[in-house]
Chains A and B, each alone.
Chain A
Amino acid sequence: MDTINLKIDNKPVVVKKGTTILEAASGIGIDIPTLCHMKLDDMNIENKPGGCRICVVEVNGRRNLAPACCTEANDGMEINTHTMRVINARRTVMELILSDHPFDCLICAKSGNCELQDMAHKLGIREIRYQGEQSTYREDTSPAIIRDVDKCIMCRRCETMCNEVQTVGVLSAINRGFQSVVSPAFEMNLDHSVCTYCGQCVAVCPTGALTEVDETGKVVRALSDPTKTVIVQTAPAVRAALGEEFGMEAGTLVTGKLVAALRRLGFDHVFDTDFAADLTIMEEGTELLSRLGRFLEGDKDVKLPILTSCCPAWVKFFEHQFPEMKDIPSTARSPQQMFGSIAKSYFADKLGVKREDMVVVSIMPCVAKKYECSRDEFKTNGNPDVDLVLTTRELASLIKLSNIDFKSLPNEDFDHPLGESTGAGVIFGTTGGVIEAAVRTAYEIHTKKDLPRLDFDELRGMEGIREATIDFNGLPIKIGIAHGLGNARKLLEDIQAGKSEFHAIEIMSCPGGCIGGGGQPYHHGNAEILRKRQMALYREDKNKTIRKSHKNPYILKLYEEFLGKPMSEKAHHLLHTEYFDRT
């Protein structure tokens, strides 16, 4: 029997076998509250340890209450979701959670965005009858992520992301009983662990236990320092998500308002990381063609596939986990770092400003970018190419702090020269976008012909691992795409085993790519939001007059005036990097 008949709150419902009570109820508009449970549909990501016990319901004939999130619906079940017994149990469990949670909501980074706070409100908790000792742990600060574990409610979502989705394996439950908490092994600090700072733990944490390092104060200070020239770059995925922080529909493109807001915040020059994305394509695409050319000529030393290197969490991942393969990824720096490097050389020269007097701020969908800019190889005499990184969320709070009515802002354009970009740069923000941008350029350089089409649907989508073969005028180029580090691991293991047939592989750490980054507005488990952001980026690409990186006039000018040609010595010095064995 494939279908099941049951009754929930006296309403008959027919569901497929294998459906949980939670899903069955949701199908008929009964919204059973959940806390630890989180499911990203179609992305194969689900956290349902059945630990919080908020979603308990009464099942006729069952001795105790059943957790709706992980109990399968059975034929003939009669379920009540709001009897006195259920409500009492649910509220008592909530009180227990709150009794071991700090009461600093007013000053918590998560205030207003906290699922625990929302649940307390939803359940109408007005007092906590069971009070007692609260757990206290040491706060752990890293370059990107802060762990304030006193606020951990053991939902285990971070653990699912870190272990099952990302296969990084840093966060897991330790200790027993009341002392149980999610932590790196031996309670070591994150920055001593193999954490990649991908931030997916932050993205799913329902409370303020995991948050990004807040740099807004430093940005305000830089902006009010008259001796500093403060310039800002903003990553592609930010424009597809920032609006959500101001109550706008997910997937609303706010590029013009974003620029206007940054200008009103006082940045001297408002630039676009998309410009640097175009630059990345020039370097990475050229590197791909060069390796490919040598490979086709029979050079045995050449390493294929080439792997993208835009994502700092991915870079740190292979440095820890696959150090023997560190010569495979492209040596091209990420767009953020290329931007910083060009800003503090080419652009600083143009302005006649010393690099010490220039502050480069990035607006990123990512928390790993905070760590990336602190890496020593991206500093000159101790001065970093990128000084400060704000996440999309931090930018939103800075805009609110500065009394800017975001929704009523006019649309404005980026400044020149580092603000001009193509559609190829825009789609860097989604899984599949970097490789599609690379294909557009590499194809034309290799074949010396115009592309017959610009939309490569075979490279798009949300499948964790995708592959496609693109015909380079008779030369079939095999492309692999992985998002989520667990998926990346699978492709890497294939390469290790000599089973990989790809020429090029794009890897992004976060599910969905940068649109699902750890610094984006919280999706609260709604995968639809990620899809809408993705569609927004493809829309922006489509609306651009120039959609190929090598056609960006300011990129061409940059090579002409400053860099020479892709992979020139100067380009190598400023735009490429090396990787380290971190085992």
Chain B
Amino acid sequence: MTDYKMHLLICGGTGCKASESDVIKERLIQLIEDLNLDEEVQVVSTGCFGFCEKGPIVKVLPDNTFYTQVTPHDVLEIVEEHVVKGRPVKRLLYTDPKTEKHVSDSKGMEFYKKQIRIALKNCGFINPENIEEYIARDGYQALGKCLTELSRDEVIKEIKDSGLRGRGGGGFPTGLKWEITKNVENDQKYVVCNADEGDPGAFMDRSILEGDPHAVLEAMAICGYCIGADTGLVYIRAEYPLAIQRLKVAIKQAEEYGLIGNDIMGTGFNFRVELRYGAGAFVCGEETALIHSMEGLRGEPTFKPPFPSVSGYMGKPTNVNNVETFANVPVIINKGAKWFSSIGTEKSKGTKVFALAGKINNVGLIEVPMGTTLREVIYDIGGGIKGGKEFKSVQTGGPSGGCLTKKHLDIPIDYDNLIAAGSMMGSGGMIVMDEDDCMVSIAKFYLDFTLEESCGKCTPCRVGNKRLHEILDKITDGKGEMEDIEKLKELSVVIKDTALCGLGQTSPNPVLSTIANFEDEYLAHVQAGKCPAGQCKSLLRYDILEDLCTGCTLCFRNCPVGAITGERRQPHYIDQSLCIKCGACYEKCKFNAITLT
């Protein structure tokens, strides 16, 4: 990268690609060539910058200018003004919502200020399809160090000392897992990378694989060295085509460079990596189900023990780690366990990547040190709630997690604190909800998901979640009774206590946490027949105020089911038995004559 005077980095993540970042890149390259600047200015397609809310992103180095929501029409201006004349295009700069001022340098953006990037360090910085850019950023240095300077036990000790815990949700100490697998005697062992990211709204692993695939490959090879495996398998869902393509390119390049394959760096260590595709079942993120799926069997969990470390893929000892966990490994080896463990809280070291979504201003991918509070994430990095509305809840841990509320905002985020608060870390989904969200419906939404994604093997998950969902349905339909809330609690407790795998054991969490934190909403549905957030259609009622209605007939004409009647210039009426609560009349009325109760 040193030969160029200027670099134009264009986000090549899935989100920005969907907004034509490919076209932007092509135009930039074309214009740069037309101006004969291609020896001075390099155009690079990178992985995700994380600030997806404002994508597509174009970043200019060395001055860190950060252009947001760039369209292909903006390309000419960027080149003419910034590249040629050195004047940033102000209208494309990020505007700080608090100060309402343009922020030119990305380092000055609130979104990035509190982030520390370890797992995402190369995302949005290098071209993931060019191994030389990875190598230039210390890539494969950690593997070289392990193979030539450190014994297997020393590497494992380093990982153990770093305090790295599994980022897939369970939080099991990574070094310990490696050590257990290493200590099982067998001629054939496997390293498996779990890239079956399935939480709704989560895209941490996808972004890492799209933006920095070599980091994962390098870490897998290091793990293979430690545990004594010569084969690595990446289990990736088939609906991640871009990540798959980048992994394929990365594997091919690493093989060409002798960094994967036989006799790596002349040390005699062999390690090859293959891809295995999943069909996108959420439960296949559970390691035993994942292994069965790779074996060509039905993707459903089996009872542990035996753990995969003892009997995994094809009955052989198998070490399964998540993408983000692996992405931390090369950095730990390069910078040392001491450095890594200086970040974070007592029991949760390093950083965590979150996919920030929902009713929040700065939707995107963030990486923060463990111990950052929810308030910092939501208000500082996330820029607060959309539309100035009031924060109501944040859901962490995906469908298995719980809904936390205002009183939890100052909890430092780590594995143990989130569990103590009734939620969990999970793989890093974080969905923010505002005053318009009905918490009973939210619980139902998550159960909808687990219901669909349950493998059906054990009774509590297969039938129990269905019954929970039916009770929630009854409540949101306005037919709930007080004993239903008790039933929800009792059944949830039994499901957690008896289900076979992590999916079932955590599936009632959204129900329990919403009852614990928002019981008043449940009571409002059941006792008063009202949905405070105005989301549950069965509990809504639209009426026309006679005094305010001018008889303009606009509501009459927009009602899709003919529930509104009335003469022109006379007050209109809504037939409640026909009304489907679509709200069309409410939105159309120009005289505020329609009430919603």
Interface assignment of A186: CB less than 8 Å from any CB of chain B:
no
Question: Does B463 lie within 8 Å of A99, measured CB to CB?
Answer: yes
Partner among B305, B457, B459, B465 whose Cβ is within 8 Å of the Cβ of A93 = B459
Partner among A65, A173, A179 whose Cβ is within 8 Å of the Cβ of B300 = A173
Interface assignment of B496: CB less than 8 Å from any CB of chain A:
yes
Provide the bound-state CA to CA distance between A80 and B460, in Å.
21
Question: Does B458 lie within 8 Å of A50, measured CB to CB?
Answer: yes
Question: Does B497 lie within 8 Å of A154, measured CB to CB?
Answer: no
Which residues from 475 to 529 on chain B have a C-beta closer than 8 Å to any C-beta of chain A?
487, 490-491, 494, 496-500, 505
Question: Does B303 lie within 8 Å of A129, measured CB to CB?
Answer: no
Q: Which residue of A lies closest to B501 (CB)?
A: A50
Q: Interface with B: A51-59, A260-268, A401-409, which one?
A: A51-59
Which residues from 153 to 173 on chain A have a C-beta closer than 8 Å to any C-beta of chain B?
153-154, 156, 172-173
Question: Does B303 lie within 8 Å of A175, measured CB to CB?
Answer: no
Provide the bound-state CA to CA distance between A176 and B460, in Å.
14
Q: Mark A53-79, 1 if CB is under 8 A from B, else 0.
A: 100100000001101001110000000
Interface assignment of A464: CB less than 8 Å from any CB of chain B:
no
Provide the bound-state CA to CA distance between A91 and B194, in Å.
36
Interface assignment of B160: CB less than 8 Å from any CB of chain A:
no
Question: Does A132 lie within 8 Å of B470, measured CB to CB?
Answer: yes
Question: Does A132 lie within 8 Å of B281, measured CB to CB?
Answer: no
Q: Mark A474-518, 1 if CB is under 8 A from B, else 0.
A: 000000000000000000000000000000000000000000000
Partner among A72, A89, A175 whose Cβ is within 8 Å of the Cβ of B456 = A175
Interface assignment of B455: CB less than 8 Å from any CB of chain A:
yes
Across the A-B interface, how many residue pairs have beta carbons closer than 8 Å?
Answer: 112
Chain B residues positioned under 8 Å from A175 (CB to CB): 456
Interface assignment of B462: CB less than 8 Å from any CB of chain A:
yes
Q: Interface with A: B138-146, B307-315, B446-454, which one?
A: B446-454
Chain B residues positioned under 8 Å from A64 (CB to CB): 496-499, 505
Question: Does A177 lie within 8 Å of B466, measured CB to CB?
Answer: yes
Question: Does B464 lie within 8 Å of A180, measured CB to CB?
Answer: no
Question: Does B451 lie within 8 Å of A177, measured CB to CB?
Answer: yes
Provide the bound-state CA to CA distance between A99 and B461, in Å.
14
Question: Does B451 lie within 8 Å of A89, measured CB to CB?
Answer: no
Question: Does A130 lie within 8 Å of B459, measured CB to CB?
Answer: no
B375 to chain A, nearest CB (A): 30
- Given A50-B303, A72-B305, A96-B467, CB of A177 within 8 Å of CB of B494: no
Interface assignment of B302: CB less than 8 Å from any CB of chain A:
yes
Provide the bound-state CA to CA distance between A173 and B499, in Å.
18
Chain B residues positioned under 8 Å from A252 (CB to CB): none
Provide the bound-state CA to CA distance between A390 and B467, in Å.
41
Interface assignment of B5: CB less than 8 Å from any CB of chain A:
no
Question: Does B460 lie within 8 Å of A178, measured CB to CB?
Answer: no
Candidate in A99, A130, A131, A133 with the most chain B CB atoms within 10 angstroms: A130
Provide the bound-state CA to CA distance between A148 and B360, in Å.
50
Provide the bound-state CA to CA distance between A202 and B302, in Å.
25
Question: Does B497 lie within 8 Å of A89, measured CB to CB?
Answer: yes
- Given A53-B499, A176-B454, CB of A96 within 8 Å of CB of B464: yes
Provide the bound-state CA to CA distance between A235 and B125, in Å.
78
Interface residue count for A (Cβ, 8 Å)? 38
Interface assignment of B298: CB less than 8 Å from any CB of chain A:
yes
Chain B residues positioned under 8 Å from A181 (CB to CB): 456
Interface assignment of A19: CB less than 8 Å from any CB of chain B:
no
Question: Does A100 lie within 8 Å of B454, measured CB to CB?
Answer: no
Question: Does A53 lie within 8 Å of B500, measured CB to CB?
Answer: yes
Chain B residues positioned under 8 Å from A177 (CB to CB): 451-456, 461-462, 465-466
- Given A67-B303, A173-B300, A176-B453, CB of A51 within 8 Å of CB of B467: no
- Given A67-B303, A130-B487, CB of A178 within 8 Å of CB of B497: no
Question: Does A92 lie within 8 Å of B454, measured CB to CB?
Answer: no
Q: Which residue of B lies closest to A131 (CB)?
A: B467
Question: Does B466 lie within 8 Å of A178, measured CB to CB?
Answer: yes
Chain B residues positioned under 8 Å from A49 (CB to CB): 302-303, 457
Question: Does B452 lie within 8 Å of A89, measured CB to CB?
Answer: no
Provide the bound-state CA to CA distance between A129 and B467, in Å.
10
Question: Does A65 lie within 8 Å of B498, measured CB to CB?
Answer: yes
Chain B residues positioned under 8 Å from A156 (CB to CB): 457
Q: Which residue of B lies closest to A101 (CB)?
A: B463
Chain A residues positioned under 8 Å from B462 (CB to CB): 154, 177-178, 180
Q: Besides A64-B497, A64-B498, A178-B463, 12 other CB < 8 A contacts?
A: A50-B458, A52-B458, A85-B497, A89-B497, A92-B491, A92-B498, A154-B456, A154-B462, A173-B300, A173-B457, A176-B453, A180-B462
Using a CB–CB cutoff of 8 Å, the interface residues on chain B facing chain A are 281, 298, 300, 302-303, 305, 451-467, 470, 487, 490-491, 494, 496-500, 505
Show 28 A/B contacts (Cβ-Cβ < 8 Å), sorted by A.
A49-B302, A49-B457, A50-B303, A53-B500, A64-B498, A70-B303, A71-B303, A89-B497, A92-B464, A92-B490, A92-B494, A93-B459, A93-B464, A96-B460, A99-B463, A130-B487, A132-B466, A154-B457, A156-B457, A176-B452, A176-B455, A177-B452, A177-B462, A177-B466, A178-B451, A178-B454, A178-B465, A180-B457
